[in-house]
Amino acid sequence: MKTILACLLVLAVSLPVSNASCFIQPMKPGTSDGCLDSKGNLHQFESKWRTDDCMDCYCSRDAIQCCTSYATPVGYDEEKCVRIFDEVTCTYKVLEKNDHSKECPVYEWVG
């Protein structure tokens, strides 16, 4: 009984820490040429691509699977620093609020 409770406690604590954003879109019946993305572009089966909003996607014969391509900083001094997302590189930088030329240390990332 103690083992079961310990396992449940580990699950309860670990679920909020997981913050990756993913989705799976099942293939529509009759699709045989590849996967159509949200913009209507056709992707070959077994291919990968990155979307404009920094999602890494994969086309299989069953579904399109997409996940965020970046990690989000959460362990930093939020009073002194601010996180800024670069849409070109799909990465976050954590910089001092008063001087954006200085980076802040980050101790924890999720995603």
Q: Which pair of tokens denotes residue 79?
A: 């009073």
Bridge partners of residue 79, in order along the sequence: none
- What's the pLDDT tens digit per position in 23-44? 999 987 777 889 998 898 999 9
Residue with tokens 């980076």: 103
| Of the options 3.40.50.2300, 3.30.700.30, 2.10.70.10, 3.40.50.980, the CATH number for the domain spanning 18-68 | 2.10.70.10
Q: Which pair of tokens denotes residue 66?
A: 């997409």
**CATH entry 2.20.25.590 includes domain 72-110:** yes
pTM of the full predicted structure?
A: 0.69
- What's the pLDDT tens digit per position in 79-108? 999 999 999 999 999 999 999 999 999 999
- What's the pLDDT tens digit per position in 36-75? 988 989 999 999 999 999 999 999 999 999 999 999 999 9
Mapped onto helix, strand or coil, the DSSP state of residue 1 is: coil
Residue 42: CB partners within 8 Å, gap ≥ 6? 33, 34, 35, 36
Bridge partners of residue 75, in order along the sequence: 108
